[in-house]
Amino acid sequence: MRESRFTRGQAATKLPKMTSHKRLHSKTYLLILVMIIAGPLGNLMLGKGMKNVGKITTEISSPSEFVHVFVRILSTGAIWMGIASLLTFFVAYMLVLSWADYSYVQPASAMAYLVVALLATLLLGEVVSPLRWAGIAVICLGVFVVGRTNPRTTENP
């Protein structure tokens, strides 16, 4: 830790633009990667967990029944993994927004559509339609174009 801080200080005097620029890019990419994996994974696990809980009848007649369903939800392991995954997503989102533009992060996180489709085919054995793949290809192209802009266009106070 100390050493990296030292090199950072040194870099600031020698190569101010290039080094900080590069670090900014790589930590932005890394956190967006965490977001696009943790988000869909969390939703998937929540979905699985809720299916394990079973169908919740639309009319929960008594408060005790409500508590019963609630306890059943909270005692499902997949639910907790889903919550942990979504929390990871949100923390990564907050962190990346502490330096990067929202108008950069929001479109870039649309790469999650690719992850969702991959999870659907590889883990759930679902068939993804050609039109959906085409849409995902267009999204990837869009993210590539956005990715070629500077992640931060404002000065931090």
We find the least distance from the C-beta atom of residue 53 to another protein, in angstroms, to be 18
**Among positions 94, 118, 123, 124, the unique one binding another protein when judged by CB under 8 A:** 94
**Among positions 78, 86, 110, 119, the unique one binding another protein when judged by CB under 8 A:** 110
56 binds another protein (CB under 8 A): no
97 binds another protein (CB under 8 A): yes
Beta carbons of 20 and 93 less than 8 angstroms apart: no
**Among positions 69, 88, 107, 119, the unique one binding another protein when judged by CB under 8 A:** 107
- Taking Cα atoms as reference points, which of 115, 119, 48 lies closest to residue 80? 48
Backbone angles phi, psi at 137, to 5 degrees: -60, -40
Query: Tokens for 74?
Result: 């909270």
Q: Dump the DSSP string for 78-141.
A: HHHHHHHHHHHHHHHHHHHHTTS-HHHHHHHGGGHHHHHHHHHHHTS-PPPPHHHHHHHHHHHH
User: Rounded distance, CA 27 to CA 88, Å?
Assistant: 16
User: Rounded distance, CA 145 to CA 149, Å?
Assistant: 7
Nearer Cβ to another protein (106/121): 106
User: Rounded distance, CA 108 to CA 39, Å?
Assistant: 13
**Among positions 51, 106, 121, 123, the unique one binding another protein when judged by CB under 8 A:** 106
131 binds another protein (CB under 8 A): yes
143 binds another protein (CB under 8 A): yes
Nearer Cβ to another protein (70/133): 133
We find the least distance from the C-beta atom of residue 38 to another protein, in angstroms, to be 15
We find the least distance from the C-beta atom of residue 80 to another protein, in angstroms, to be 19
The residues binding another protein (CB under 8 A) are: 1, 91, 93-95, 97-99, 101-107, 110, 113, 117, 128-149, 153-154, 156-157
